[in-house]
Structures are given as C-alpha cells and as structure tokens.
C-alpha cells in the first residue's frame, strides 16, 4: 500500500470508528486518496458518501447533516476549493456545530514554490474559527506514523464534539499527499487503538431566587439539550418562555408566540415589558425589541452556558451559570406576571391569525404559518432562511414541536438550500422556507449529480423580487427609491421556473391561497420547488398592520 493510500485509509477508517456516518466530497486530484478511501468505506456500508461538484454547497450540505445530529466530514482538494468552505466553517464556528474539514494539500516542500494549486496559508486558512487545527505532513513511513494519525483524529473529533474547549464546532485537518495518488493494494497499518475522550459531565444547576418578574429567553441552539433545558426551566418555574424558532424550545405550555411585539405592548395592567430578570439560553439574534431588552440597565441578565463562551451583546450579563434551576413555589408577583404574559400571548396569536386570514394575497408571514403547520402535522423537519423568513416564522407561527434549523451563527442567507438538503438526507422529509435572494445565492445546491440520492425536500420559495427585509428597515426611507432599489433591494427578475427546469427540479407556482396551502401541506417526497410570488411593496404595510392588531388586541384584552 503506497503512503498516500495508507494515510487516507487510516484517516477514513479512524473517523468511522469515532462515529462518522456521513462524508461529503468534492472531487479533485490531490484529494483523490481520500476519495478512494471514502468510496471503499461506502461500498462496505460503513458510511454514506455524498458527492457535490460545488465545494461551497458541499460545506453547507455537511453543515446540514451535522445540524441533524450526525458527525460529518467534508473533503476538498487544495487551493481555492478549500476557501469555498469558509462560509460554512464560519457558520459552524459561531453556531457551535461539530464539523470535520479535511483539506488535501501538496507536500510541505512544494509550498512557496509556485506549484499549481498550492496556497501557502491553506493550513491556517480557517484560524481562529476552528476549535482545533493540524497540518499533517505527507507520509513517509505509514507503519510508524499511523498511531500518530489515529491519536490526532481522536483529539480533533473530541474538540469538534465539544468534549474539550469552547463547546462544539468545526475542526480542520490539512493533509499532505505525495504522488502516487492512485490507490494500491496492501494492509492497513496496524497500531494502538483510539483515544477515548470523556467530557466534564453535566454541571450542577445554580438555584435562582424566586421573586423577580422573570422571562426565559431561548435563542438559537443547535444542541437539543440547550433548548430542552430552557423549556424545562420555564415550565418548572412557571415563567414565560420567549423562544426563537431554532432554539429547540419553542413548544409547551409556557411558550409565547409573537413575543417581540408584546415586549413593547401593554395590557390593562401596564407594559408587558416591565421585566426584572431575563434568563438567557443560546444565541438570540432575531429582533430589536429583544436586543433592547437585553441591554436594559434595569433588567438582571442571567446567562446559562456550560461552554467557555456565552452571549452578551448588550454587555449587561450579571451572572453566567453552567445550568439553572429554581426552588420553591412562585411568589404572587411572579404568578401575576406570568398570567399576564400567557393571556397576552394567546390574544396576540389570535390577532395575527385573524389579520392573516383576512387577507387573500400570498405573503411571507402566511407562508411561514402554513409551513410550520404542515411540519407539525406530518412530523417533517424544517429549515428556515435568514432575513425575513425566520422572522416571519417567529411572528406568525404558533409555538409547535417542530425541529427547526436556521443559520443564526452569523445570520447569513448563504448555503440555505444545501443545508436543507443535508438535513433532509439525514432525517427524511423536510421543508425549507426561503426568500428569493437566498434561493438564488445557493441555487447550485440543486445541481443534480449522477448516482447521488436526492432529498425528500420541499422548497417553499417566497419570491418578492429582492430583499424584502429592507422594506421594514430604515433604508427604505433613507434615500430616493431608485437608489434604494439598485444598491439595497436588488430586484433580479429571474424566471424561477426556467431555472428549476435547467436543474431538472419540479416547480409549482400556485396562484391562490388554496392552491398554495395544498402544495405546502403535501408531504415532501423528492426535491421540488413551490414558488409563491408576493408583493414586496406590501411587506412594510403588512408588518405595521400586524403590530397594530396585536397591540390593540392585548390592550383591549
């Protein structure tokens, strides 16, 4: 067995033994030893191999598989191919998602020589956005080096899983390969077994005092345990739960629907935002009312995080605890406050439903509500693009036990379709709610690859011909309309049906709400696009109308 084949075989074999079940590959010559080793493991039924032409889509496909709870590796050849993984690595880093990146490289002696596809900084490309990084030299004596390779991967996977360091996240192994790169027969180098790495164990909860008017706030959390802990605390303490769609906590008797509107609303007893304490889980990013709440001087902020990092964008965290609990029954003030929020949450959700049901046009909030209803009804997974779609879900969809994924680490629109494909390939039937710019930004994720399975994924595309979220921000009124359209809203006029036809993806464009509801509700089977054409000019007006309806309903009670 030649040295490159030996190295690649040991790496893939060790990853499988460490729990790897999915490997995403973008073809290349320098990475061919890894490709052959992965193909052999796939033929033996030891892992599932996914081949993608576009490295950027490959990175986000791997991220989607990882968001579904899998240990995933993504493999690329050298040069710009590696750089195309950077957006996915950054999202994995900031969201805390385990991901193993294997980049192939030229031998060390060729770096700096001008050799083709050789980037001097490739081994350091992702620093400091990885939990662990190693530059593996091209092998010279596999029998002697194999124990070091196995130890290295044991260490890397432990860091990816968050067993050491700052919680789960991406790791990067840059691997040198020398000619020959084609496979050769032989025995896999023997050597010591794997290193078993244990985490620190579950932390003891810190008991929080009874008395203050308290909200539990759950932001994005890829680890299901984080959302479960937020929900458990809210329900055991009797506190209102404000949970973002991708928090893993947006369900149960304490979860409140359109909470961002309630933070600046009032009922007959006064402002609902008269909060004295917030207990924060995860990474909140969706709304300005929440951001303002977390920056208030008169609110005690308790952040729950067992990792070495935590969210505190308003710089007001009074305490950071590894876990939180509560002792004793709630006081009268807590009970009254929770009852007001519970009542206001129901009134607000009813008001949003009534306002949406009173319209006949297709809209983003309506599509968000219908998509969540459909996923709750048939148990499908749900992926939501950044920008307006995730905010529409947060506003219009009632809390439901729907497994939801969204890129909230850096809140970018890129990679949404590829991530949704990864989620669907890992867990089965899935819907993704996406705007037109996010759709076009990642359309290569729809590229058919021969012999590769297509996911059971329904793409619900809300097409308002541009960046609809900017209609709700100050940019829409800050400059003249022509400037706004050209440099902010960026309409495109793309014929989506023709684009889908080029990628051989079934496409529907329902004209009525009844047709659209039926298309969204159909259980995902195969890959298809349901395009809803909506009016971007109506986005701001509808947003204001929904806010007015909620405020009026809560005040009149």
Question: Model-level pTM?
Answer: 0.95
Range of lowest pLDDT (42-56, 184-198, 218-232): 184-198
Confidence check: pLDDT of 487 > 90: no
Q: Residue length, the chain? A: 557
> Measured between alpha carbons, how far is 496 from 542 in angstroms, rounded to an integer?
25
pLDDT of 252 strictly over 80: yes
Say which residue, 95 or 486, is predicted with more confidence.
Answer: 95
Q: What is the pLDDT of residue 478?
A: 86
Mean pLDDT in residue range 214-228:
97
User: Which CATH class name applies to 3-176?
Assistant: alpha beta
The string of pLDDT tens digits covering residues 61-114 is 999 999 999 999 999 999 999 999 999 999 999 999 999 999 999 988 767 777
DSSP line for 36-78: HHHHHHHHTTSSEEEE-S-HHHHHHHHHHHHHTT--EEEEE-S
Q: pLDDT digit string (tens) for 272-282?
A: 999 999 999 99
- Conformational region of residue 545, where left means phi above 0, alpha means psi within -120 to 50, and beta covers everything else: alpha
Residue 557 pLDDT class (50, 70, 90 cuts): confident
> Is residue 428 pLDDT above 80, yes or no?
yes
pLDDT for the residue 378: 97
For 206-352, CATH number? Answer: 3.40.50.1220
Domains 206-352 and 362-534 equal at CATH topology level: yes
* Token pair 């369900």 in the structure block, residue: 251
Residue 517: band (very low, low, confident or very high) from pLDDT cuts 50, 70, 90? very high
Cβ burial of 330 (10 Å; 0-12, 13-18, 19+) is middle
Check residue 85 and give its pLDDT.
Answer: 98
Burial of 491 (0-12, 13-18, 19+ CB in 10 A): middle
Confidence category of residue 471, pLDDT binned at 50, 70, 90: confident
DSSP state at residue 485: I
Nearest to 372 by CA among 246, 288, 286, 465: 246
- Whether residue 479 is predicted with pLDDT greater than 90 in this model: the reply is no
Cα–Cα distances in angstroms (integers) from residue 477 to residues 287, 482, 483, 485, 540, in the given order: 20, 11, 11, 11, 11
CA distance 217 to 281: 6
pLDDT confidence band for 166 (50 / 70 / 90):
confident
pLDDT exceeds 90 at position 116: no
> CA 239, CA 231: separation in Å to the nearest integer?
10
pLDDT tens digit sequence for 313-343:
999 999 999 999 998 999 999 999 999 999 9
Q: Which residue has the tokens 């000619």?
A: 179
pLDDT at 520 (0 to 100)? 98
Q: pLDDT tens digit string along 430-461?
A: 999 999 999 999 999 999 888 899 999 999 99
**What pLDDT sits at residue 201?**
86
- Whether 61 and 426 have beta carbons less than 8 Å apart is answered as no
Say what the pLDDT of residue 113 is: 74
Q: pLDDT, tens digit, for every residue of 379-411?
A: 999 999 999 999 999 999 999 999 999 999 999
Q: 411 by DSSP, 3-state: which?
A: coil
What's the pLDDT score for residue 431?
A: 98
Instruction: Note the pLDDT of residue 117.
Output: 78
**Average pLDDT value for residue range 235-261:** 97
Q: What is the mean pLDDT of the chain?
A: 95
* pLDDT value of position 380: 98
pLDDT tier at 473 (50, 70, 90 boundaries)? Answer: confident
Helices (H), 139-197: 142-160
Residue with tokens 């951001």: 291
User: Is domain 362-534 annotated with CATH 3.90.1150.10?
Assistant: no
Structural domain boundaries of the chain?
3-176, 206-352, 362-534
């Amino acid at each position: 067995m030649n040295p490159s084949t030996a190295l690649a075989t040991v790496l893939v074999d060790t990853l499988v033994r460490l729990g790897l079940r999915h490997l995403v590959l973008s073809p290349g010559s320098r990475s061919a030893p890894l490709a052959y080793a992965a193909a052999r493991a796939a033929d033996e039924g030891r892992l599932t191999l996914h081949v993608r032409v576009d490295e950027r889509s490959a990175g986000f496909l791997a991220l989607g598989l990882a968001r579904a709870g899998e240990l995933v590796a993504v493999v690329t050849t050298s040069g710009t191919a590696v750089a195309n993984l950077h957006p996915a690595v950054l999202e994995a880093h900031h969201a805390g998602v385990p991901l193993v990146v294997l980049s192939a490289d030229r031998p060390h002696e060729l770096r700096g020589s001008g050799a083709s596809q050789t980037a001097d900084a490739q081994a350091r490309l992702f620093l400091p956005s990885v939990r662990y990084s190693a530059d593996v030299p091209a092998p010279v004596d596999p029998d002697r080096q194999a124990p070091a390779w196995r130890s290295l991967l044991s260490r890397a996977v432990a860091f990816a899983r968050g067993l050491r360091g700052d919680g789960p996240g991406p790791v990067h192994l840059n691997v040198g390969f020398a000619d020959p790169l084609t496979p050769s027969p032989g025995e896999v180098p023997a050597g010591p077994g794997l290193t078993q790495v244990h985490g620190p164990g579950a932390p003891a909860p810190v008991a929080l005092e009874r008395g203050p008017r308290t909200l539990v706030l759950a932001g994005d959390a890829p680890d299901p345990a984080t959302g479960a802990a937020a929900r458990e605390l809210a329900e055991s303490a009797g506190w209102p739960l404000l949970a973002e769609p991708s928090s893993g906590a947006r369900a149960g008797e304490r979860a409140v629907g359109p909470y961002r509107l309630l933070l600046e609303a009032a009922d007959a007893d006064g402002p609902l935002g008269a909060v004295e304490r917030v207990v924060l889980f995860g990474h909140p990013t969706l709304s300005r009312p929440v951001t303002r709440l977390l920056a208030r001087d008169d609110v005690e902020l308790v952040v729950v995080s067992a990792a070495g990092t935590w969210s505190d964008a308003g710089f007001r965290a009074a305490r950071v605890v590894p876990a939180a609990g509560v002792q004793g029954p709630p006081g009268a003030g807590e009970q009254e406050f929770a009852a007001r929020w519970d009542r206001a949450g129901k009134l607000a959700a009813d008001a949003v439903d009534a306002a949406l049901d009173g319209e006949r046009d297709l809209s983003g909030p309506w599509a968000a509500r219908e998509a969540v209803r459909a996923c709750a009804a048939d148990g499908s997974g749900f992926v939501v693009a950044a920008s307006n779609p995730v905010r529409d879900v947060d506003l219009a969809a009632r809390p439901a036990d729907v497994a939801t994924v969204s890129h909230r680490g850096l809140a970018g629109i890129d990679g949404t379709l590829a991530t949704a494909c990864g989620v669907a390939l890992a867990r089965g039937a899935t819907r993704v709610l996406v705007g037109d710019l996010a759709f076009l930004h990642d359309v290569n994720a729809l590229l058919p690859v021969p012999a590769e399975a297509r996911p059971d994924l329904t793409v619900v595309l809300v097409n308002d011909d541009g960046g609809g979220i900017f209609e709700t921000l100050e940019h829409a009124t800050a400059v003249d309309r022509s400037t706004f359209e050209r440099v902010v809203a960026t309409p495109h006029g793309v014929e989506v049906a023709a684009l889908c036809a080029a990628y051989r993806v079934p496409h529907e464009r329902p004209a009525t709400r009844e047709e659209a509801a039926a298309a969204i509700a159909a259980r995902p089977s195969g890959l298809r696009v349901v395009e809803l054409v909506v009016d971007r000019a109506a986005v701001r007006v509808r947003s204001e109308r929904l806010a007015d309806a909620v405020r009026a309903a809560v005040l009149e009670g």
